[in-house]
C-alpha cells in the first residue's frame, strides 16, 4: 500500500473542497466505503485501505522514502510524548513509544476524520482505552491538525487549565471521544460506540445510501485486559457481532508491577476466540508496519465479528536502558535517558520539534478531512431529499435537538390513579418517551422483567436485528454502564438508559462516575431501591447508596414517590444531556399523592401539602420516594390533632441545591427547626436538611431478609415513628 | 462407585469417635487423603472418592437400590426447596431443582465436613456462587445434620430473624462459608478460599503430615459467568494453578430475561481453557450421577489447574410446565404446579417431609464428620508434638488469636521524624506487622510500587511458591476484594490486605460491601486519596469516596494524617476482625504532627492541639488526613493573633460516633458552634460535624490535572481559606 501522501493530497485538490461549516451538512459525496471501489468518485489514498478490505491483495513493494517518512513520523510521535512527559516531569512515556507505529497507521493511513470538525458525525471513532498513554493520542491529534492540540498544548501537558490533561478527557480536548484512564472503561466505551454505529446504520442506511458508515478503533493494554469490565463488554461485542469494532491489544508484557508473568498468564487469544472475536497476531508491532496494515485489512474483511489485533510491542521502544521495563511505564525518562534515546533513534531535533517533511506529510489531513465531510454532506443532502422523515430523525440524533413538545408524551397521574410501583410507572414513561425520542434505547442487566425496562413497540437489538432498541446486556452491570457511556457520547441525540437493582450500582460505579465526569447523559433506571424489596435480604437492599450518589459531583440522584414524580424524574433526566441521572425506583406499590407534580420534581424539593400559614408550620416532614407516603400519612394524623404540618418531597437534593435562596426558604424556612425526615436508607447527610435540632429517620445498618412490611416495622420506618419524632420536636 | 452408606457408617463406628469439642483440636487421625490409599486408617466411603482420584478406574456396576436411594435423596432436596419457596411465596426454586444431583453428590459423597462443628478447620469449603439458589444449600445442610438448618428453619425460609435468609449469609447460618447473592462474588470468594488452603498447606504441611488438606467447591450459574469479577478471579485461579478448586458451572441456558441465547453466546469452555483451567463437560446433569462423580474424580486428578465442570442441567427439573423457563427461576411454582411436579416426580409426601430411608442414609454424616475431625485432631496433635513452632503459628491462624503484644511492633513517630507520605508509613506498618502476625498476607492490583504494599521479607505467592505472602492481583480490583473476603473467611487468623488507588474502590465496591456485610476483616490499603495525587487528574482523584464509605454500615473509614495516625489505623484495622477497614493514604509527603497518637485514632476523633481553657475555644478546626496539617498551620497563625483554637483530627467518624457522649463533648463541645472543617473531598455529610453555623471546606466538583500544590490552591484547600472561615465565625 502506498503511503505517500502527495498524490492523495493533489487528487483531493482536483475537486473543489468547500469549507465544511462546523456541525452543518454541506454538499459533497463521500467515497462509497464498502461495495464496489470502482464506483468511488475520489481516489483518496485513504480509500485504498478500504479497497484492500474487499480485495485482499497485499501491496508488497514500497518506496524506501515512504518507509523512511513513516518511521520519521513514528519517531516524531515518540519524541513528542517523551518531551511532553519530560517537561511535565510526570506522565507515561512507555505506551506512546511502543504504540506509535499502530497510532501512526491509524491516524495517518486508516481513519476517516476531519480535524477541523472533530464532531463530524460519520468520523471513525478512536478510543485509547489505555488512557495513561494519552500523549500518544495528543501527539496524533497534533500531527493530524486538530486545533485542540497545538504545540503550546503539548508543552502544557498535565498543567492546570491545559487541553492536554493527564488522561484523555472528552470534555477538555475536542478529538477525544470518551474519557479514559480507569482501565477497561475505554474498550467498553468502544463497544458502545460500535453498537451505536451498527444500530444507526441498521435504522437509517438505504441500499443506495449508506449514510451511517464508520469504524470504531481502540487500543487497550494488559491492564485493560485484566479488568472484568473489558471481558463483559467484549463478550457482548462478540455476541452482537460488532464487525466494525477493531481493537488493538498492546501486548507488551509489562504492567506497573513488572512482567505480566507475575499475574497475567492466561491466553488472551483463546479467551477472545471464546468470546466470539476474530483474533489476529502482529508479532512485530515496533516496526512491522505492513503487518499492522494487513491486520487492519483482514479485520475489515471479517464483517460479522469484532477483531482483536494483538500487537506485540516493546514498551518504551527506543529507550536503550528503560525499554521493556516497568520503569518506563509511568515516569519521565530523565534527561540522560532522553538523550540516550535521541541518540539511539537518531533524533537530532529539539524537544517538541516536528520535522518539516513529517509536518508536510500530515498536513493533507486538513483538506482531506474537509473533503470527507463535504462528500458526506452531499450524501446526506441526497439522503434528505429521498428519505425526508428518516433524515429528520437522524438529524435530531446527530444534533441532539429534542423534538418539539416531546415532554407532552409524559404521562400524568391523579390521586385517583391506581397505586403502582415506581418501577412500573417508569416503564410507562419509557414507553411513552420511546415514541417521541428517536434516540432513546437501552435495557437491563438481565432484569428487564424486574426493572420493567422493555420498550414494547420494539424488538431486541441483536446481531441480526440491530435496528431494534431493547438492549439485552446480560448480567454485566459494569460493562453495561460503560457501553451506555459510549452510546451517549457517540451522538448527542442518543439517550441510552440502563437498569439493574439499585444495590448493584456498586458493580458499575466506575462507569457511573465516568458518566458524571465525561458528561454522558445516561439514564440509570435503578429499581428495588430499599428494604422495600423484602425477602431477598441485605445483599440486595441498598442502604448507603442514595447518600453515596448525592456526594458524587455532576450527577442527579432522583427518588420519585409516585406517578407524577416518576414522570418528572424522566423529564429532568431527558433534559440533562450532560449530566447523568439515577432514578431510584420502588419494587412495591405506592399511591399517587395529592400535591405531587412534575414541576415540583424539576425544583428538586417542594411542598406537597401544608396546613400552616405564614411559612411557619409547627413541623416539616420530609420524605423521598416510597417514604413520602409515610410522611404524608403522619401529617394527616398530626393535623387531626391540630398541628400545622408541611410535607416536603426532596426528590433530588442536587436540583434543590440549585434553586434560589428565596425558593429554598419558602420550602424549608430557617425559622422552622422542627424537621423530621424519613427515608429507607442511611441517614448520612440528612443533618444538612433537618439541622442539628431535627430528626432523621433512616437505616444505619444492613437490611434483613423478610417480607417488606415486616422489615419496615422492625426498622422503625413507620408513620408512628414520624409522629413520635414530630411530637418531640414541636 | 458404591454410594451405599451403611458400610461407611458401620466402619466409622468400628473405632471410638470422641465427641469433637467445638473449635478445639481433639485426638484422632484423619485418613490421609492423597498419596497411598492403602495406608489410610479408615475405609470411609468418602475415602473411595479420593482413591478414585489417583486410580482412575470407574466402577460401572451399581446396585439398583442405591440408584433409587440417590434419586430419592435428590428429590428430597428438590422438594424441600419447592416447599420452602412455596411457603414463603418468595424465592428461587429453579436452581435447586436443577442442581440437586450435583448438590447431593457433593454433600453426600464427596465433601469432608463435620455437621456438628461447621467451623472445623480442615473441612472442604463449599460456595454457592449462584446464591439465589440458597434453598439447595439449606436443604443439603439440613439433610447433612447441621443444627443451623432444622425443619423449623426451612419452614421459616426468608422470614424475619430466621437462619434461612433469602441468600446465603455466613453470619446467619453456620455451615455457610461466605455471603453470596450478588453474582460472581461467590466464585471469587472460592478462589480466595482455595488460595488460603494452598498457602497454608505450603507453609505448614510436612512430608509426614499434610495437616492442611481440603478442597474448595463452588456452584456458579450463567449469571456468575457473565460477571466480570468472575473472569478476573478465575484468571488468577488459573495463573496460581489452584488445583484443589473445583467449580461446577450450572449450564442451564436460562437467566432471568429468558434463554441465554439473547445475551450470552460465548464459549465458556474456550474462555476457561484460555484462563488456564481444566474443563470437563457433564452433558446430563439432571440424572447423570456417574458422570458427575467421574468428573469430580478427573478434577481431583488434575493437580496443577483448577477445574470447571460444566454441568448441563434443566432449570426447574421435574416441573412439567415450568422447567426450562425463566418463570421457575425466581418465583414460587404455585400450588397447582407444585402438585403437578409432585405427580411428575412421583413424590407422595407432605411438604418438608424427608423420607425415613433418606434420613437414615444421611444420618451417617454426623458420626462420620465427628470421626473426620477427631482423626484430624490426632493428626494435629502429632504435628504439634513434632513441629511445635509451626503448630503454634497454625493454631493462631485457626483460632484467630493475635499473638500477645503484637501491637508493640507498630512503629511510633515524633514530630522530628522525617515527613513522609502515609502510603510509605503504611508500608512500614505492614512490614512491621508481617513479622508478628502470621496470618497477614496480601498485595495490590498491579500498583504495589505505588501503594507501597510489598512485604520485604517475603516473596511472591505464586503457583510454585505458594507459601509466600505477597499476592500479585494484577489489575483486577473487584476480584481482589472478593478473593480477600474468601481468605478472611477461610480462617479467623488470616488477615488479608489489598490495595489500589482510593478512587478505584469504585471498581470493587461490590466486594467491599460484602466485606462489611459478611464481617470479613479485610484491610483495604487505598492510596492516592485525594487531589493530592496531582497530574493524573479527575479520573484518578477521589472526591465523594470518603463520604460514600462513611455512609456504609459496618466498615471503618480511616484517614490518618501522619506516622502515629497510620500506626493507629493499623492497630484498629487489625483488631477489628469482623469489620473491614479502609485506610485512605496520601501520595504526598506529610509532616508528623505534634499531638497525633495511636490512642487518639482508636477514639476516631481527638484534639491534637489546643490553647484554650475551659473547653471553650474560640474556634475548632477539624481536619483529616493530609488536611490536618493545614488545620494545624491555620491554628498556629490564629493563635499568634490571640485566638484560642482547638485542632481536632477526625480520623474515623465511625469510631468517634461510638465514643461516650462525655468524650464527644470534650472534643466537640456543643457550645462551640464556630467550627471549620477541611478535607480534600466532598463536603457531603460534614454538616453533622460543623453544624449549621460552621463551615466545611472541601471539594464538591471533580478534580483536575495539574501539580498537586496548584490544585490545592485553585480549589481553595488552603490555610488561608481556613483562617478566613474561622475569622468569619469567631
What distance in Å separates the CA atoms of residue A519 and residue A353, rounded to the nearest whole number?
34
Residue A82 lies in a domain: yes
Q: What is the pLDDT of residues B430-475, one digit of tens each?
A: 999 999 999 999 999 999 999 999 999 999 999 999 999 999 999 9
pLDDT at B65: 52
| Mean pLDDT across A631-646 | 98
**pLDDT at residue B53 tops 80:** no
Q: From the annotation, which residues of A make up the binding site?
A: 92, 132, 181-183, 222-223, 252, 254, 329, 423, 450, 504, 528, 536, 540, 587
Give me the interface pTM, i.e. the ipTM: 0.92
With a pLDDT cut of 90, the percent of chain A lying above it is 90
Domain boundary (B365, B396, B428) is at B365
Judged on CB neighbours under 10 Å (0-12, 13-18, 19+), A62 is middle
HEC string of B375-429? HHHHHHHHHHHHCHHHHHHHHHHHHCCCCCCHHHHCCCCCCCCCCEEHHHHHHHH
A299 and A160 assigned to the same domain = yes
Mean pLDDT of chain A: 92
Q: Select from B363, B373, B360 the least CA-distant residue to B18.
A: B373
Residue of A nearest to B260 (CA): A474
What distance in Å separates the CA atoms of residue B185 and residue B310, rounded to the nearest whole number?
19
Please report the beta strands in B457-494, taking only residues with DSSP state E, as ranges in sequence order.
460-461, 470-472
What distance in Å separates the CA atoms of residue B543 and residue A89, rounded to the nearest whole number?
25
- Whole-model pTM? 0.92
Q: From the annotation, which residues of B make up the binding site for Mg(2+)?
A: 222, 252, 254
Tell me the DSSP string of B113-135. Answer: --TT-TT-TTPPEEEESSGGGHH
CA A603 to chain B, closest CA, distance in angstroms equals: 20
Q: Which residues pair with B609 in a beta bridge?
A: B647
Tell me the DSSP string of A490-557. Answer: H-TT-EEEEEEEGGGHHHHHHHHHHHHHTT---EEEEES-SGGG-TT-TTT--SSHHHHHHTSTT-EE
Q: Do A551 and B548 touch (CB under 8 A)?
A: yes
A411 and A463 assigned to the same domain = yes
Cell of B536: 493524573
Domain boundary (A313, A334, A365) is at A365
Q: Do A704 and B160 touch (CB under 8 A)?
A: yes
What distance in Å separates the CA atoms of residue A57 and residue B474, rounded to the nearest whole number?
41
Confidence of residue A303 (pLDDT cuts 50, 70, 90): very high
Widest distance between CA atoms in chain B: 95
Kindly give, in sequence order, each residue whose CB lies less than 8 Å from that of residue A343, ignoring residues fewer than 6 positions away: none
Widest distance between CA atoms in chain A: 95
CA B447 to chain A, closest CA, distance in angstroms equals: 6
Please give the residue that has the higher pLDDT: either A529 or B34: A529
The answer to whether the beta carbons of residues B494 and B402 sit under 8 Å apart is no
Q: Do B274 and A267 touch (CB under 8 A)?
A: yes
Contacts with A507 from chain B: Cβ below 8 Å = 182, 227, 229, 478, 509-510
Q: What is the pLDDT of residues B645-699, one digit of tens each?
A: 999 999 999 999 999 999 999 999 999 999 999 999 999 999 999 999 999 999 9
Cell of A477: 452491570
Nearest to B682 among A474, A538, A551 (CB): A551
CA angle in degrees (0–180, nearest 5) for A723-A725-A730: 90
pLDDT at B48: 34
Mean pLDDT of chain B: 92
CATH number for the domain that contains residue B650: 3.40.50.920
Residue with cell 458401620: B10
Best probe of the B interface among A538, A709, A715, by most B CBs < 10 A, is A538
Residue A599 lies in a domain: no
The 10 Å Cβ neighbour count of residue A394 is 24
Q: What is the pLDDT of residues A534-572, one digit of tens each?
A: 999 999 999 999 999 999 999 999 999 999 999 999 999
pLDDT at A60: 36
The 10 Å Cβ neighbour count of residue B654 is 20
Query: Which DSSP helix (H) or strand (E) runs through A259?
Result: strand A258-259
| Mean pLDDT across B293-307 | 98
CATH number for the domain that contains residue B299: 3.40.50.970
The answer to whether the beta carbons of residues A286 and A101 sit under 8 Å apart is yes
pLDDT at A17: 36
Tally the domains of chain A.
Answer: 3
DSSP state of B470: E
Cell of B282: 457433564
Q: Do B257 and A447 touch (CB under 8 A)?
A: yes
How many beta-carbon pairs under 8 angstroms link A with B?
A: 358
- Strand duo B307-312 + B245-251: pairing: parallel
Residue A33 lies in a domain: no
With a pLDDT cut of 70, the percent of chain B lying above it is 91
Nearest to B473 among A160, A263, A539 (CB): A263
Best probe of the A interface among B138, B483, B705, B710, by most A CBs < 10 A, is B705
Residue B138 lies in a domain: yes
| Mean pLDDT across A223-229 | 98
Q: Do A685 and B682 touch (CB under 8 A)?
A: no
With a pLDDT cut of 90, the percent of chain B lying above it is 90
DSSP state of A462: B
A291 and A429 assigned to the same domain = no
Contacts with B232 from chain A: Cβ below 8 Å = 226-228, 231
**CA distances in angstroms from A256 to A205, A346, B239, B365, B445, listed in the order given:** 45, 28, 18, 50, 9
**pLDDT at residue B34 tops 60:** no
CA angle in degrees (0–180, nearest 5) for B396-B402-B407: 150
**pLDDT at residue B170 tops 50:** yes
pLDDT at A65: 52
A573 and A630 assigned to the same domain = no
**pLDDT at residue A50 tops 70:** no
- When mean pLDDT is compared across B27-31, B186-190, B253-257, B714-718, the lowest value belongs to B27-31
pLDDT at A255: 87
> How far does chain A reach from its first CA to its final CA, in angstroms?
83
Residue B36 lies in a domain: no
pLDDT at A47: 33
Best probe of the A interface among B168, B448, B537, by most A CBs < 10 A, is B537
Please report the beta strands in B180-305, taking only residues with DSSP state E, as ranges in sequence order.
216-221, 245-251, 254-255, 258-259, 278-282
What distance in Å separates the CA atoms of residue B183 and residue B221, rounded to the nearest whole number?
9
pLDDT at B97: 98
Confidence of residue B222 (pLDDT cuts 50, 70, 90): very high
A90 and A131 assigned to the same domain = yes
What distance in Å separates the CA atoms of residue A488 and residue A484, rounded to the nearest whole number?
6
Q: Do A169 and B540 touch (CB under 8 A)?
A: no
Q: What is the pLDDT of residues A426-447, one digit of tens each?
A: 999 999 999 999 999 999 999 9
Q: Do A509 and B509 touch (CB under 8 A)?
A: yes
Q: What is the pLDDT of residues A369-398, one digit of tens each?
A: 999 999 999 999 999 999 999 999 999 999
Q: Select from B341, B333, B321, B253 the least CA-distant residue to B93.
A: B333
Q: Do A538 and B169 touch (CB under 8 A)?
A: yes
Nearest to B182 among A449, A479, A539 (CB): A539
B521 and B622 assigned to the same domain = no
B567 and B613 assigned to the same domain = no
Confidence of residue A67 (pLDDT cuts 50, 70, 90): confident
CA A66 to chain B, closest CA, distance in angstroms equals: 37
Domain boundary (A334, A365, A396) is at A365
What distance in Å separates the CA atoms of residue B513 and residue B555, rounded to the nearest whole number?
8
Q: What is the pLDDT of residues B229-263, one digit of tens each?
A: 999 999 999 999 999 999 999 999 998 888 999 99
Residue B2 lies in a domain: no
Residue with cell 480534600: B680
Residue with cell 489476529: A280
A292 and A196 assigned to the same domain = yes
Residue B52 lies in a domain: no
B352 and B427 assigned to the same domain = no
Cell of B728: 468569619
What distance in Å separates the CA atoms of residue B248 and residue B295, rounded to the nearest whole number?
10
Residues of B assigned a catalytic role:
477
Q: What is the pLDDT of residues A117-126, one digit of tens each?
A: 999 999 999 9
pLDDT at B67: 76
Cell of B242: 489452584
What distance in Å separates the CA atoms of residue B333 and residue B672, rounded to the nearest whole number?
62
Cell of A726: 414530630
The answer to whether the beta carbons of residues B717 and B630 sit under 8 Å apart is yes
pLDDT at B66: 74
What distance in Å separates the CA atoms of residue B572 and residue B554, rounded to the nearest whole number?
14
pLDDT at B354: 98
B553 and B654 assigned to the same domain = no
A274 and A143 assigned to the same domain = yes
The answer to whether the beta carbons of residues A169 and B537 sit under 8 Å apart is yes
| Mean pLDDT across A173-181 | 98
What distance in Å separates the CA atoms of residue B337 and residue B315, rounded to the nearest whole number?
15
Cell of B656: 468517634
B567 and B704 assigned to the same domain = no
Q: What is the pLDDT of residues B473-482, one digit of tens each?
A: 999 999 999 9
Residue with cell 440437586: B100
Domain that holds residue B687: 604-726
Residue A594 lies in a domain: no
pLDDT at B27: 32
Q: What is the pLDDT of residues A568-611, one digit of tens each?
A: 999 999 999 999 999 999 999 999 999 999 999 999 999 999 99
Amino acid at each position: 500500500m502506498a503511503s505517500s501522501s502527495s498524490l492523495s493530497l493533489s487528487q483531493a485538490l482536483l475537486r473543489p473542497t468547500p469549507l465544511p461549516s462546523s456541525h452543518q451538512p454541506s454538499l459533497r459525496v463521500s467515497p462509497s466505503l464498502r461495495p464496489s471501489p470502482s464506483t468511488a468518485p475520489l481516489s483518496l489514498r485513504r480509500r485504498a485501505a478500504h479497497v484492500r478490505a474487499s480485495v485482499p491483495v497485499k501491496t508488497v513493494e514500497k518506496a524506501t522514502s515512504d518507509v523512511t517518512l513513516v518511521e520519521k513520523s513514528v519517531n516524531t510521535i515518540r519524541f513528542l510524548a517523551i518531551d511532553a512527559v519530560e517537561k511535565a516531569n510526570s506522565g507515561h512515556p512507555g505506551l506512546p513509544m511502543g504504540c506509535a507505529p499502530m497510532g501512526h497507521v491509524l491516524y495517518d493511513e486508516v481513519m476517516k476524520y476531519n480535524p477541523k470538525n472533530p464532531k463530524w458525525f460519520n468520523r471513525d471513532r478512536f478510543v485509547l482505552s489505555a488512557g495513561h498513554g494519552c500523549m500518544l493520542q495528543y501527539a496524533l491529534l497534533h500531527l493530524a491538525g486538530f486545533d485542540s492540540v497545538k504545540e503550546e498544548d503539548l508543552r502544557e501537558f498535565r498543567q492546570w487549565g491545559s487541553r492536554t490533561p493527564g488522561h484523555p478527557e472528552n470534555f477538555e480536548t475536542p478529538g477525544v471521544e470518551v474519557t479514559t484512564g480507569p482501565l477497561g472503561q475505554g474498550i467498553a466505551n468502544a463497544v458502545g460506540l460500535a453498537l451505536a454505529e451498527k444500530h444507526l446504520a441498521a435504522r437509517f442506511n438505504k441500499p443506495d445510501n449508506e449514510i451511517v458508515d464508520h469504524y470504531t478503533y481502540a487500543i487497550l493494554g494488559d491492564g485493560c485486559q485484566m479488568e472484568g469490565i473489558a471481558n463483559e463488554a467484549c463478550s457482548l461485542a462478540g455476541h452482537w457481532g460488532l464487525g466494525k469494532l477493531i481493537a488493538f491489544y498492546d501486548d507488551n508484557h509489562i504492567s506497573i508491577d513488572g512482567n505480566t508473568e507475575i499475574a497475567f498468564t492466561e491466553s488472551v487469544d483463546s479467551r477472545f476466540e471464546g468470546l466470539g472475536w476474530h483474533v489476529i497476531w502482529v508479532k512485530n508491532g515496533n516496526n512491522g508496519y505492513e503487518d499492522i496494515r494487513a491486520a487492519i485489512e483482514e479485520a475489515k474483511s471479517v464483517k460479522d465479528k469484532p477483531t482483536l489485533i494483538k500487537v506485540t510491542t516493546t514498551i518504551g521502544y527506543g529507550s536503550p536502558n528503560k525499554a521493556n521495563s516497568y520503569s518506563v511505564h509511568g515516569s519521565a525518562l530523565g534527561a540522560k535517558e532522553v538523550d540516550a534515546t535521541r541518540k539511539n533513534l537518531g533524533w537530532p531535533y529539539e524537544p517538541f520539534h516536528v520535522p518539516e517533511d513529517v509536518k508536510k506529510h500530515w498536513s493533507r489531513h486538513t483538506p482531506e478531512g474537509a473533503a470527507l465531510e463535504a462528500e458526506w454532506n452531499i450524501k446526506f443532502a441526497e439522503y434528505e431529499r429521498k428519505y425526508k422523515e428518516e433524515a429528520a430523525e437522524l438529524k435530531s440524533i446527530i444534533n441532539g435537538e429534542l423534538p418539539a413538545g416531546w415532554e407532552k408524551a409524559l404521562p400524568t397521574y391523579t390521586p385517583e390513579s391506581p397505586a403502582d410501583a415506581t418501577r412500573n410507572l417508569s416503564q410507562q414513561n419509557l414507553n411513552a418517551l420511546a415514541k417521541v425520542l428517536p434516540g432513546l434505547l437501552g435495557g437491563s442487566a438481565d432484569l428487564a422483567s424486574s426493572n420493567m425496562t422493555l420498550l414494547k413497540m420494539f424488538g431486541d437489538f441483536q446481531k441480526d436485528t440491530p435496528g431494534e432498541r431493547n438492549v439485552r446486556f446480560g448480567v454485566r452491570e459494569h460493562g453495561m454502564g460503560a457501553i451506555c457511556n459510549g452510546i451517549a457520547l457517540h451522538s448527542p441525540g442518543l439517550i441510552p438508559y440502563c437498569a439493574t437493582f439499585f444495590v448493584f450500582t456498586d458493580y458499575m460505579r466506575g462507569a457511573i462516575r465516568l458518566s458524571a465526569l465525561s458528561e454522558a447523559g445516561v439514564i440509570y433506571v435503578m429499581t428495588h431501591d430499599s428494604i422495600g424489596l423484602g425477602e431477598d435480604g441485605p445483599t440486595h437492599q441498598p442502604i448507603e447508596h442514595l447518600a453515596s450518589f448525592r456526594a458524587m459531583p455532576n450527577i442527579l440522584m432522583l427518588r420519585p414517590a409516585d406517578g407524577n414524580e416518576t414522570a418528572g424524574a424522566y423529564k429532568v433526566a431527558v433534559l440533562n444531556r450532560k449530566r447523568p441521572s439515577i432514578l431510584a425506583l420502588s419494587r412495591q406499590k405506592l399511591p399517587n399523592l395529592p400535591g405531587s407534580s412534575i414541576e415540583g420534581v424539576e425544583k428538586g424539593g417542594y411542598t406537597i401539602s401544608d396546613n400552616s400559614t405564614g411559612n411557619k408550620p409547627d413541623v416539616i416532614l420530609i420524605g423521598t420516594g416510597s417514604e413520602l407516603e409515610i410522611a404524608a400519612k403522619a401529617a394527616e394524623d398530626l393535623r387531626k390533632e391540630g398541628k400545622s404540618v408541611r410535607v416536603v418531597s426532596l426528590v433530588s437534593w442536587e436540583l434543590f441545591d440549585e434553586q434560589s435562596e428565596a425558593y429554598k426558604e419558602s420550602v424549608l424556612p430557617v425559622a422552622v427547626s422542627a424537621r423530621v425526615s424519613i427515608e429507607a436508607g442511611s441517614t448520612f447527610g440528612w443533618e444538612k436538611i433537618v439541622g442539628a435540632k431535627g430528626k432523621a429517620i433512616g437505616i444505619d445498618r444492613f437490611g434483613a431478609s423478610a417480607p417488606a412490611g415486616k422489615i419496615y416495622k422492625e426498622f422503625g420506618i413507620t408513620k408512628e415513628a414520624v409522629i413520635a419524632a414530630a411530637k418531640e420536636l414541636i
